[in-house]
Chains A and B, each alone.
Chain A
Amino acid sequence: MFTVLPAKICWKYLNLIKYMRNQYDLSVVVPFLNEEESIRHMYDAVMSAVEPLERPFEVIFVDDGSTDRTLEIGRELAAEDDRLRIISFRRNYGQTPAMAAGIDHARGRVIVTMDGDLQNDPRDIGALLEKIEEGYDLVVGWRHNRQDKLISRKIPSFIANRLIGKVTGVPIKDNGCSLKAYRADIIQNVPLYAEMHRFIPAMAAIAGPRIAEIKVRHHARNFGSSKYGLSRVYKVLLDLLTIKTLTGFFSRPTLWFSLLGMPFALLGILFSIATVFSFFTTGSFPMPMAGTGLLFIALSMFLFFNGILGELVYNTGETRTEDFARMTISSRSDNDSATLIKEFDTK
């Protein structure tokens, strides 16, 4: 009979089912948003790039709520070719949810993601796949001769990449490049939401994957217009702070919040001492000074207890560090057992 299983156990079984379901060698995930001119070209390019690899593959196009004929054209293409699947969203959700949907529904052991606007070249998929088969968990494309405007795109993204690398400790030269390849059992376990697509390597870093970066081709836009502009410095900064918090401290919130509060506690104590000192030397009692000191001490207390609340959140949540640890162990031991079997066969 059916019984209600706790969400955690369900999740594990789901993973197992997912793993067993992974029947292709390769899934190519491409999100589209209003790309009626380029979707057909993209389809041709992907197919002609992947077919020569001679592996079972599938292609997943994700239509992110396009308002033009993108979905119609996709439907026509999918009717003729059952290696192509189209996931269409009810409305526009953004690039990360589109990638996440494709990844969730992918059935390949390796997942390659790329942009739908023909700026990435599907001919690079082979090279990415090769790297994965060398034993890397995550291969990132680097658009080394980027075909974009210098001032509005290249320089900001250079600074952003350096910053992201410094803060997250994953020094990747080109975080904005969508052309990436992942082992499915890693990426399907990394929570992807909001606008995290820029930080997938950093997020995946919780699981400690082996990351490689290879040069890929980049083309200027032929069709449509760019959907992603410059005015997002503030958002990237906040996201970066989030990533830093999550990757470094998500299982140790008390420590993180205490570290935040520490300087204020010291400052507060300093101010309080100064107040007492001034009382004994001059006889007057500087109220603003005393108030500020107490305020800072209160802030550090508040932050500390926020950390305690964070422990509660972590304890009741579904995502835990052990899961990430387990993930890498299993993927490594898979590899090891595979090599063992090969050695055994040759003996």
Chain B
Amino acid sequence: MLQLSGMVVVGSRKDNLRDLARDYWRALDATNQTFELIFIIDGHQDDAVSELEKVRSADKLPIKIVQLSRSFGDATALMCGVDLALGETIVTLPAYYQVDPEELPALIQQATECDVLLVRRNPRRGGKFERFRRRVFHRILEAITDYRFSDLGCYVRVLDRKVLQELRLYGDQHRFLPVLARNAGFTITEVDAKQSKHDDFRSRYRAREYLHRLLDIFTIFFLVRFTKKPLRFFGMIGSLIGIAGGLILAVLVVERLFMGVALADRPALLLSSLLVVLGLQLFSLGLLGELIIFTHARSLKEYKIAEIIGADDSGAQNETSQPTLN
């Protein structure tokens, strides 16, 4: 086993990989720990591979390169990396400059106390709107999950190996790893680090990106709050819609019975029954969800045990060696 595994997932956004690899290598080397540096290339990127090969051949730095057969997304690539990594502590690093690499040894030093060390880029560049956008994102997340983070977009993270092994990430969950880790009960600290001068945030946020973030937040909301209680989630939405429909329907029926307003020709009838139907459909999805949870409940242990104190089996056996009548 090694002490450290540096892990770089190379996706669509990347800086000059050769410089980056050399900088990261130098930073990890400065920690005086045994380490490895793994580059996981998410999909076919021949230019990236040739750049990294140059690091191996010309710069004589034995970095490891993992080529995935197609693009699976950051989280899956990271999990592939974890399966191959030999380090006790895993340092995830972006394939572009976010934090000044010179800060890394100090950060890794600080990570011994906790399971997950998050890095907050501070002081951080960016205009007023940029800062506002960031704050809104983190506030929404806090409102939904009760967990406060200040820089989820920073992918420089120092994690205990067991964190990644336990949280099987998928899809776009890489960004929300801290939320999921907190939810699983791991200890998390955030520290400040200097932002790299190459860190370029502009033109990253287009309209589609906003939509993605919004859907991500919704998914996280469901995962964190309602995983074991699908009926609460679907039932909440379903009963609101259903009750709204039921109320309109009741008004229509009362009007038909006591005021002589014809029922059959009113478009409101269609609207109200549509709402009732939609509400019930959501409700039945919730019930189906409950069925899924129930039939798998034995393998889904809800709680995470930190430690068992006094679990001394040998002592217990001696104590109860006397025969007992059932």
Binding site for B on A (CB under 8 A): 7, 11, 23-25, 55-56, 58, 65, 74-75, 78-79, 82-91, 93, 96-98, 100-101, 104-105, 107, 109, 191-195, 235, 238-239, 241-242, 245-246, 250, 253, 257, 260, 264, 274-275, 278, 286-289, 291-292, 295-296, 298-299, 302-303, 306, 309-310, 313-314, 316-320, 334, 338
Q: Which A residue sits closest to B186, measured CB to CB?
A: A90
A298 touches B231 (CB 8 A): no
Binding site for A on B (CB under 8 A): 184-186, 228-229, 231-232, 235, 263-270, 273-274, 277, 280-281, 284-285, 287-288, 290-312, 315-317, 319-320, 322, 324, 326
Q: List chain A residues, Cβ under 8 A from B288.
A: 253, 306, 309-310, 313
Bound complex: CA of A242 vs CA of B233, how far in Å? 13
Q: List chain A residues, Cβ under 8 A from B229.
A: 194-195
A194 touches B284 (CB 8 A): no
Q: List chain A residues, Cβ under 8 A from B269.
A: 288-289, 292
B284, B294, B326: the one contacting A334 at CB < 8 Å is B326
The smallest beta-carbon distance between B1 and chain A, in angstroms, is 22
Q: List chain A residues, Cβ under 8 A from B308.
A: 85-88, 105
Q: List 29 A–B pairs whose Cβ atoms lie within 8 Å, in order of A's numbering.
A: A25-B324, A56-B320, A56-B324, A88-B308, A88-B309, A89-B304, A89-B306, A90-B186, A93-B303, A100-B302, A101-B303, A109-B326, A193-B293, A194-B229, A238-B231, A238-B235, A239-B231, A242-B290, A246-B291, A246-B294, A257-B284, A287-B267, A287-B270, A292-B270, A292-B273, A299-B277, A317-B292, A318-B296, A334-B326
A75 touches B270 (CB 8 A): no
Bound complex: CA of A268 vs CA of B246, how far in Å? 16
Bound complex: CA of A78 vs CA of B315, how far in Å? 13
Q: List chain A residues, Cβ under 8 A from B277.
A: 264, 295-296, 298-299
Q: List chain B residues, Cβ under 8 A from A303.
A: 280-281, 284
Bound complex: CA of A295 vs CA of B299, how far in Å? 39
Q: Which A residue sits closest to B322, measured CB to CB?
A: A56
The smallest beta-carbon distance between B80 and chain A, in angstroms, is 21
Bound complex: CA of A329 vs CA of B311, how far in Å? 32
B306 touches A88 (CB 8 A): yes
Q: List chain B residues, Cβ under 8 A from A286.
A: 264-265
Bound complex: CA of A253 vs CA of B284, how far in Å? 11
The smallest beta-carbon distance between B167 and chain A, in angstroms, is 13
Bound complex: CA of A320 vs CA of B290, how far in Å? 15
Given A82-B315, A86-B309, A288-B270, the answer on whether A55 and B324 have CB atoms closer than 8 Å is: yes
For the complex of A and B, the 4 pairs showing the least CB-CB separation, nearest first, are A317-B295, A90-B185, A191-B297, A91-B185
Q: Which A residue sits closest to B226, measured CB to CB?
A: A194
B291, B299, B312, B315: the one contacting A250 at CB < 8 Å is B291
